[in-house]
Amino acid sequence: MKHLIQKKILVPVLAFTLFFTGTAFKNDFFEIAKQIEIFTTLFKELNMNYVDDTNPGDLMDTAIKSMLENLDPYTNFMNEQDVEAARINNTGDYTGIGAKIKTLKDKLVIIEPYKDYPADKAGLKAGDAIIKIGNILVENHKENAGDLLKGAPGSTVEVTYKRQGKTQTANIERAEVEIKAVPHFSLIDEKTGYIVLSRFNNKAYAETNYALRDLKAQGAKRIILDLRGNPGGLLNEAIRIVNLFVPKGQLIVTTKSKVKKYNRTYYTKNDPIDTEIPLVVLIDGGSASASEIVSGSLQDLDRAVIVGSRSFGKGLVQRPKQLTYGTQLKITISRYYTPSGRCIQALDYWHRDEKGQAVRVKQENYNTFKTKNGRSVFDGGGILPDEIINTQKNSAIIKAIVNDDLIFNYATNYHYKHDNIKDINNFKLTDADFKDFKMFLKSHHFSFETETEKALLNVMEIAKKEELNDNIQTDYTTLITNLEKSKTQVLDENKDHLLELLTEEIVKQYVYREGLYEYYKTHDKGMKVAADILKSPITYAKYLR
């Protein structure tokens, strides 16, 4: 019994000791010490006296996550698996089957096989659902089943998967996988180079540098840098990429924190490749963090024209802190500011509404800053492009469709029903296809409860308790019916945007991501606007005055 008690209290006592020996306390020393002591004694009493057996690890995991969820979503506890995933994200290298995979309870779904990597060579396609790895059923594996696909280069793994209802098997020879930061670069015409930068891992600068030099050698006199959908990554890589286009010694980012040592100023350190070449940067709502540092600093310095839709608005900087047993705490340490002095953080996680949701900074509260040439730019809501493309705003219903994988699933079914498309560059969905997609949603029982519906249902429940429901039942039914009609109308209003999402996924399934970028060069609206701006020196110059 004594041994059991010692085992149960070991974790909190160890944490307590390490905290005191490894933390520099200031004025709040007593309060922190007090709260740790309270928690330690609570944890001990709970483990020793609770009526049922408890799992100390699970309790501590819940306690940590509950504590952190009241902060911003970027401050996270990372277990050993999370640390490894972060390493892969930052380096772009791992050993496995070479595919983007979504993990579900009973299967691993292939979202995107990477061209010429093991999964692709073994014949796996988007939509294939792996249900068994070797002799292990995915649904019975308590750990992360995706880890079973990793292994030494050259080793083989057998997978059993379902495709369109049929069960098949494949032997996949694992290999080293390199996820490129720049998955594509090419000329879109004789003088316009196109660079896609999809992530800021530790190869982002080197690959962007190579792409820029190669395109200039091919004759590029102007550049489109595509940061759409790029969620960010390493700060130093972002600064070095800006340095490709601006002089040495230029201020790019300032970080400010309550901890003095995290107050930093970051300047460019190298000689640039080209400070004169006309440059357009494409961004959208998926461009965040390091993407916003690149686009925001180039905008502030009047070095590029920004085209697209407003960026995500993440102005917070994180740093990993090593903990014990191979774990880490990724913690927000500071805010970053672009050269003009603006912080583009869009959500205020420290002032929440009555539902506990972070409050978005209101446009009337934005502050005005000036670019190098005196143009007005604003903080508080991401990077606002110099040329806004009126992409349809993602409504809550559209987000729900995407999150439920209905875009992906429809595209997968479309691919198998239309396997005879020969010229994908001329591919275009029709009104009939959109009607078919809406039928697909209905047949898959897509349902989405709006906040309005939730509020009406709450009113109806209260009315029942007060015995007033008979008087308002008819009106309630009418409102719900009208709401259903409104949902259908929202789909129609977002028709163009939905068709873009569907087209992108379908094209990718036919010709991989590489082919999708080729498709963009002739069909993407943002690309066309960017190219037109660059073709006219007068138009380009007007944006930067």
SS3 label, residue 288: coil
User: Which residue has 């100390």 as its token pair?
Assistant: 56
Active site residue 214: no
Angle between the N-to-C axes of helices 495-523 and 431-443, in degrees from 0 to 180, rounded to the nearest 10: 130
Give the active site residue among 107, 132, 203, 314. 314
Range 518-524, long-range pairs (CB < 8 A, 24+ positions)? 518/186, 518/425, 519/424, 519/425, 519/427, 521/186, 521/188, 521/194, 522/425, 523/425
Q: What is the 3-state secondary structure (H, E, C) of 332-401?
A: EEEEEECCCCCCCCCEEEEEECCCCCEEECCHHHCCEEECCCCCEEECCCCCCCCEECCCCCCCHHHHHH
- Residue 264 has phi, psi (to 5 degrees) of -130, 155
CB atoms within 10 A of CB 287: 30
Give the active site residue among 72, 120, 300, 524. 300
Separation between Cα atoms, residue 218 and residue 498, nearest integer Å = 36
Separation between Cα atoms, residue 194 and residue 225, nearest integer Å = 6
Buried b (16+ CB within 10 A) or exposed e, 288-305: bbbbbbbbbbbbbbbbbb
Q: Is the dihedral of CA 355, 356, 358, 362 positive or negative?
A: positive
Active site residue 314: yes
Give the active site residue among 289, 297, 309, 334. 289
Active site residue 186: no
What is each CA distance from 527 to 192, 195, 265, 294, 305, in whole angstroms?
11, 11, 34, 18, 13
- Residue 443 has phi, psi (to 5 degrees) of -70, -25
SS3 label, residue 444: coil
Instruction: Provide CB contacts within 8 A for 170, sequence distance 6+.
Output: 122, 123, 124, 158, 159, 161
Half-sphere exposure of 344 (CA within 13 A, CB side): 29
What is each CA distance from 540 to 128, 194, 292, 308, in whole angstroms?
46, 17, 21, 15
Separation between Cα atoms, residue 479 and residue 474, nearest integer Å = 9
And the tokens for 128?
């294939």
Give the active site residues: 289, 300, 314
